[in-house]
Amino acid sequence: MTFSGGTAVVLGPGGLVGTAWLLGLAAGLRRNGVDLADADLIVGTSAGAIAGAILATGGDPHRLATPFGPSGLPGSQPRPDPRLIAEVFTTLGDRGLDPAEARSRVGRIALTAPTVPENVHVASMRSLIGPVDWPQRRLLITAVDLETGQPVVWDHTSGVPLPVAVAASCATPAAYPPVTIGGRRYIDGALGGGSHVHLAADADTIVIIEPLAHWFGSSAVPDGAALAARVVPDEAAQNAFGPDLGDRTRWQPAYQAGMNQAPDAVTRIRLTV
């Protein structure tokens, strides 16, 4: 999948609170005259897959200022086992393992972790982004093949329903179930390359928005890529996130923090999107 020219927006991973911040930021930018949906290419990974799908299909991010309840995400689900989460990060950080093998091992952890059923996870993503199909504009969604540990990228030509692709991209091991597509299982796209900035490397201008840069560092930009702006959570947003990326009680504070940060971010983005 190649893309060249135009403006690209790269939306990175972030858990539930990072998703809320991304959506609040997008809504705030739109209110201030910058619409990320106008980009020629949107690359979405995990939380960024949710926000990217909403924007690329013409959705209103402000609709999700309060997403929980009968028409939003389920009100309760098993909390991830901290021991399994620790095992996931230990495995990913093992420098003695080939990265693909580490991701595959993490996938095997995901297969046995107690989470909501796969169909419930997919239904949650469908509720978040709406019952929509792929847009004609360029939208790339990333995931990782559980068995091989290799990254995959889907677009409107891939034959994968958009809500299912988003669910796979958001399938954080030990927190959400792997997603089945064409007889294979897929997990969180963030494991295969962070925000996947390389997919936008040939754009004329690139805007990167990364909810977890303060935790995991910013994604590297390929040599020669035209980075125009990078937006990460400010101190107020980081405080709003709290220590648990899956804390549903932090959704509204994180969303509002994104809204609050938009006026500052718009001055850096206005001339590129």
Catalytic positions are 46, 188
Other C-beta atoms lying within 10 Å of the C-beta of residue 137: 16
Question: DSSP secondary structure string, 5-56?
Answer: SSEEEEE---HHHHHHHHHHHHHHHHHTT--GGGSSEEEE-THHHHHHHHHH
Please report the sign of the dihedral spanned by the C-alpha atoms of residue 242, residue 244, residue 245, residue 247. negative
By DSSP bridging, strand 205-209 and strand 7-11 are: parallel
Distance (Å, whole) CA 87 – CA 103: 12
Beta pairing partners, 54: none
The b/e string for 147-163 (b: 16+ C-beta within 10 A; e otherwise) is: eebebbbbbbebebbbb
